[in-house]
A and B are shown apart, each in its own frame.
Chain A
Amino acid sequence: QKEVEQNSGPLSVPEGAIASLNCTYSDRVSQSFFWYRQYSGKSPELIMSIYSNGDKEDGRFTAQLNKASQYVSLLIRDSQPSDSATYLCAVNIEGGSQGNLIFGKGTKLSVKP
């Protein structure tokens, strides 16, 4: 059973701090990794994708991938109350049937003013 694990939280950080969200996955041959943000009562929205080891930065967001350790993380710098949401990690299974994107349960982030 291929799985994606996330700490459900809630993760609470003060405004301006760095929020660190972590995700581990079980399928060693996975090649594509994604972070989706889901505000309460809304649908998921893709915010980051990463395909190779290392860091990928986009504004205040940095995705980090370590395939050897099978983890992917999302750092949010200068956290804002508007970042409060549930963050879903998703992994595309190599060689799986089309659309085989495995989601974690999500980590709820709360940024306190």
Chain B
Amino acid sequence: ETGVTQTPRHLVMGMTNKKSLKCEQHLGHNAMYWYKQSAKKPLELMFVYSLEERVENNSVPSRFSPECPNSSHLFLHLHTLQPEDSALYLCASSQDPEAGELFFGEGSRLTVL
């Protein structure tokens, strides 16, 4: 495996479900990110972890809960989501959390019914 891998690639869930998105990076990077991409909107930063410590929570609702057990793995736990949370969730990593050179995973397409 190389780069940044995300699972699952597609997820459909009801508003009462609990699910998790997983991200793994094989680049030896120090920082990992969750971004949300919705139609007609810019990429929105959700969370940043640097050396497994959360350094940014961009005013994200508490129904999204990140977890970073080590520098290679990042999770996004989802519960009681709303239909407007349907989007592409992108994981990224970088060597330097203050630089802009991000390496993205292929994304997890989430649909909330």
Residue ranges of A at the interface with B (Cβ–Cβ < 8 Å):
4, 32-34, 36, 42-46, 49, 88, 90-92, 97-106
* Interface Cβ pair total, 8 Å cutoff: 64
Given A97-B56, A99-B33, A105-B42, A45 contacting B100 (CB threshold 8 A): no
B55 lies within 8 A of chain A by Cβ: yes
Report yes or no: A105 in contact with B41, Cβ–Cβ below 8 A: yes
A83 to chain B, nearest CB (A): 19
Give A91 to B103 CA distance when docked, in angstroms.
16
Report yes or no: B48 in contact with A98, Cβ–Cβ below 8 A: yes
The stretch from B11-19, B60-68, B71-79, B104-112 touching chain A is: B104-112
Residue ranges of B at the interface with A (Cβ–Cβ < 8 Å):
31, 33, 40-43, 45, 48, 50, 55-56, 90, 94, 97-107
Q: Contacting B100 at CB < 8 Å: which of A32, A97, A104, A106? A: A32
A30 to chain B, nearest CB (A): 10
Report yes or no: A100 in contact with B41, Cβ–Cβ below 8 A: no
Give A53 to B38 CA distance when docked, in angstroms.
32
B71 to chain A, nearest CB (A): 15
The contact sample of 19 A-B pairs, CB cut-off 8 A, is A32-B99, A42-B106, A43-B90, A43-B105, A43-B106, A43-B107, A44-B102, A44-B104, A45-B104, A91-B100, A98-B31, A98-B55, A99-B94, A99-B98, A100-B45, A101-B102, A103-B43, A104-B42, A105-B40
